[in-house]
């Protein structure tokens, strides 16, 4: 309907001109007495000239209809090409008026214009090349408004405008880059928004050869899966790209959709990876020419376990000796990807501290489990079963191959009997932890997916009853 509305004015004007031609004798007879013979004889010239101009007007309206897209139908021809077609339509109409209406020779005019155009074209050859490159880009559509393109390393942005001469990009810093169309068309560039919005980013990491490849991949992959902005599908992965004298080069590869957030997501990925490497006791590789005391890839017994416990707020009230005692009691367990560390409803009397890998906390409600949370290295789960003996409240499934340390009730019991006051502190810490978890579920729109938090006094009563304090 909009296209018909565009064509209505020129069609009405042509109908009016056709009516004037049909009634030409009558109009001549009446105009002769009003305007005189000279102006009356010019009636045919005016009508013919107007007909050519109205025809060009109608053609430009058709071009506009083809160049204007809608949500249901994209534009059939680019905007730059439509501007060029309108220019030729009106230019042809003017030449037709000169040749067929006014009986003027246009051959000399065209020859003179050709020389002038050649001189002007030589002077403006770069600009003309940019214009035709812009037309070619709009015909081929290698990128569109809103796409993110990278012209060279470090030069990338969102396409904001494609005009006659140049393409304007808006960078992640909010600045504009104006690139002539000739440069874009004559160089290689990357469109990260095509053929799909998702694109892959790789983060290089160099580790010592002493770190087993399987372990390195597990630690790096857990960092990828815990970072915000990383798509779950396609699944991120870690590959070995090179083995050098300085170490083994890995690429942590992940997929994302928003080109404006590449730097932010890379920052989150690297932060998570470095944190996981630190918790696992793994250092980045260094230049082997440097004289530097080598730290073993395997930590002395108890060092890593003690560090993991010290970082947990649940054990903040325990002193160094008690932390060391519990660290020696931890049992190392390997959990393959897709395997449940604990199942909802099962009895249990232990907690788990994640050393490597990631876990998904799932609540079995109906046919499809509800994922409550994702746990990363340094997190723990199962503390309610350890301290109160209640069945597991949710299933915890390994998202990657993982390593956890298990702490049993029998290992905590001697410490609580020596210091009964720790029971109250543990109950308060557990209540605070449950409250934070509930607030996070509300923030994510998952309120009510898990049992409500329990008051610290109720937890203290359960804890004392379970440990018979």
Q: How confident is the model over 416-427, as pLDDT tens digits?
A: 889 888 888 888
Q: Where in the chain is the domain with CATH 2.30.30.60?
A: 142-191
Average pLDDT (427-453) is 69
Q: What pLDDT score was predicted for residue 247?
A: 92
Whether residue 290 has pLDDT greater than 70: no
Q: What pLDDT score was predicted for residue 16?
A: 78
As a whole number of angstroms, the distance between CA 182 and CA 167 comes to 10
Average pLDDT (2-8) is 65
Q: How confident is the model over 304-336, as pLDDT tens digits?
A: 888 888 888 888 888 999 999 999 999 999 999
- Mean pLDDT, all residues of the chain: 80
Residue % of the chain over a pLDDT of 70: 77
Reading the block at residue 372, the tokens are 């409550």
What's the number of CA atoms in the CB half-sphere (13 Å) around residue 80? 20
Q: Across the beta sheet with 340-342, what order do the strands follow? A: 340-342, 395-398, 359-363, 370-375
Whether residue 79 has pLDDT greater than 70: no
Angle at 204 between CA 200 and CA 210, to 5 degrees: 135
Q: Where in the chain is the domain with CATH 2.60.120.10?
A: 303-467
Q: How confident is the model over 36-60, as pLDDT tens digits?
A: 555 555 666 777 788 888 888 888 8
Q: CA dihedral defined by 248, 305, 429, 385, rounded to 10 degrees?
A: 100
Which residues, 6 or more positions from 436, have their beta carbon under 8 angstroms from its beta carbon?
A: none
Q: CA dihedral defined by 273, 351, 343, 403, rounded to 10 degrees?
A: 40
Question: CA–CA distance from 118 to each of 92, 123, 255, 290, 398 (Å)?
Answer: 19, 9, 51, 66, 71
Q: How confident is the model over 446-464, as pLDDT tens digits?
A: 555 555 666 778 888 888 8
The CATH code belonging to domain 199-279 is 3.30.70.100
As a whole number of angstroms, the distance between CA 77 and CA 140 comes to 10
Q: What is this structure's pTM?
A: 0.64
The CATH code belonging to domain 142-191 is 2.30.30.60
Q: What pLDDT score was predicted for residue 124?
A: 53
Contact by Cβ (8 Å): 400, 337: yes
Average pLDDT (112-141) is 66
As a whole number of angstroms, the distance between CA 232 and CA 154 comes to 27
The answer to whether the Cα torsion of 80, 84, 87, 93 is positive or negative is negative
Q: Across the beta sheet with 247-256, what order do the strands follow? A: 199-207, 247-256, 237-244
As a whole number of angstroms, the distance between CA 239 and CA 234 comes to 15
Q: How confident is the model over 350-405, as pLDDT tens digits?
A: 999 999 999 999 888 777 788 888 899 989 999 888 888 889 988 999 999 999 99
Q: What is the phi/psi pair of residue 318, to 5°?
A: -85, 140
Q: What pLDDT score was predicted for residue 364?
A: 81
As a whole number of angstroms, the distance between CA 331 and CA 18 comes to 97
Q: Where in the chain is the domain with CATH 3.30.70.100?
A: 199-279
Whether residue 279 has pLDDT greater than 70: yes
Which residues, 6 or more positions from 261, have their beta carbon under 8 angstroms from its beta carbon?
A: 229
Residue 297: pLDDT band by 50, 70, 90 thresholds?
very low
As a whole number of angstroms, the distance between CA 87 and CA 441 comes to 61
Reading the block at residue 439, the tokens are 């607030």
Q: Which of these, 212, 305, 229, lies nearest to 270 by C-alpha position?
A: 229
Q: Which of these, 326, 375, 329, lies nearest to 355 by C-alpha position?
A: 375
Q: What pLDDT score was predicted for residue 273?
A: 94
Average pLDDT (81-102) is 75
Tell the CATH topology of 303-467.
Answer: Jelly Rolls (2.60.120)
Q: Which of these, 208, 197, 193, lies nearest to 234 by C-alpha position?
A: 197
Q: Which H, E and C letters describe the chain, residue by residue?
A: CHHHHHHHHHHHHHHHHHHHHHCHHHHHHHHHHHHHHHHHHCHHHHHHHHHHHHHHHHHHHHHHHHHCCCCCCCCCCCHHHHHHHHHHHHHHHHHHHHHHHCCCCCHHHHHHHHHHHHHHHHHCHHHHHHHHHHHHHHHHCCCCCCCEEEEECCEEEEEEEECCCEEEEECCCCCEEEEEHHHHHCCCCEECCCCCCCEEEEEEEEECCCCCHHHHHHHHHHHHHHCCCCCCCCCCEEEEEEEECCEEEEEEEEEECCHHHHHHHHHHHHHHHHHHHHHCCCCECCCCCCCCCCCCCCCCCCHHHHHHHHCCHHHCCCCHHHHHHHHHHCEEEEECCCCEEECCCCCCCEEEEEEECCEEEEECCCCCCEEEEEECCCCEECHHHHHHCCCCCCEEEECCCEEEEEEEHHHHHHHHHHCCCHHHHHHHHHHHHHHHHHHHHHHCCCCCCCCCCCCHHHHHHHHHHHHCC
């Amino acid at each position: 309907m909009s296209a018909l509305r565009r064509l209505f004015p020129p069609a009405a004007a042509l109908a009016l001109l056709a009516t004037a031609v049909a009634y030409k004798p009558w109009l001549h007879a009446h105009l002769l007495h009003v305007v005189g013979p000279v102006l009356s004889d010019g009636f045919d010239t005016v009508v013919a000239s107007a007909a050519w101009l109205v025809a060009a007007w109608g053609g430009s309206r058709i071009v506009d209809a083809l160049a204007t897209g809608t949500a249901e139908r994209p534009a059939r021809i680019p905007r730059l090409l439509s501007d060029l077609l309108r220019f030729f339509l009106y230019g042809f109409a003017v030449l037709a008026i000169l040749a067929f209406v006014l009986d003027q020779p246009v051959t000399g005019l065209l020859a003179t214009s050709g020389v002038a155009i050649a001189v002007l074209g030589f002077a403006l050859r770069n600009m003309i090349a940019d214009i035709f490159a812009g037309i070619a880009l709009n015909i081929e559509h290698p990128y569109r408004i809103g796409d993110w393109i990278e012209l060279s390393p470090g030069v990338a942005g969102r396409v904001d405008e494609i005009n006659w001469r140049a393409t304007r990009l808006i960078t992640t810093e909010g600045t504009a880059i104006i690139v002539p169309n000739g440069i874009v068309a004559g160089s290689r560039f990357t469109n990260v928004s095509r053929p799909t919005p998702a694109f892959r980013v790789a983060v290089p990491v160099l580790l010592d050869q002493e770190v087993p490849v399987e372990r390195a991949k597990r630690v790096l992959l857990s960092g990828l899966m815990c970072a915000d902005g990383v798509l779950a599908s396609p699944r991120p992965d870690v590959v070995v790209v090179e083995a050098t004298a300085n170490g083994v080069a890995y690429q942590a590869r992940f997929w994302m959709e928003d080109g404006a957030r590449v730097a932010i997501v890379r920052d989150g990925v690297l932060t998570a990876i470095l944190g996981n490497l630190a918790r696992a006791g793994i250092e980045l590789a260094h230049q082997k020419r440097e004289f530097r005391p080598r730290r073993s890839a395997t930590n002395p017994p108890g060092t890593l376990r003690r560090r993991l416990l010290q970082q947990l707020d649940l054990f903040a009230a325990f002193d160094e000796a008690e932390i060391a005692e519990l660290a020696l009691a931890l049992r190392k367990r390997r959990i393959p990807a897709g395997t449940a560390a604990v199942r909802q409803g099962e009895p249990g009397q232990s907690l788990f501290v994640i050393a490597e890998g990631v876990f998904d906390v799932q609540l079995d409600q109906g046919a499809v489990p509800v994922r409550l949370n994702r746990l990363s290295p340094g997190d723990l789960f199962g503390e309610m079963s350890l301290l109160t003996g209640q069945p597991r409240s949710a299933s915890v499934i390994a998202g990657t191959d993982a390593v956890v340390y298990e702490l049993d009730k029998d290992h905590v019991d001697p410490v609580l009997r020596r210091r009964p006051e720790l029971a109250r502190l543990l109950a308060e810490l557990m209540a605070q932890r449950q409250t934070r978890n509930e607030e996070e579920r509300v923030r994510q729109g998952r309120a009510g997916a898990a049992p409500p938090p329990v008051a610290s006094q109720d937890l203290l009563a359960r804890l004392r009853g379970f440990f018979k304090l």
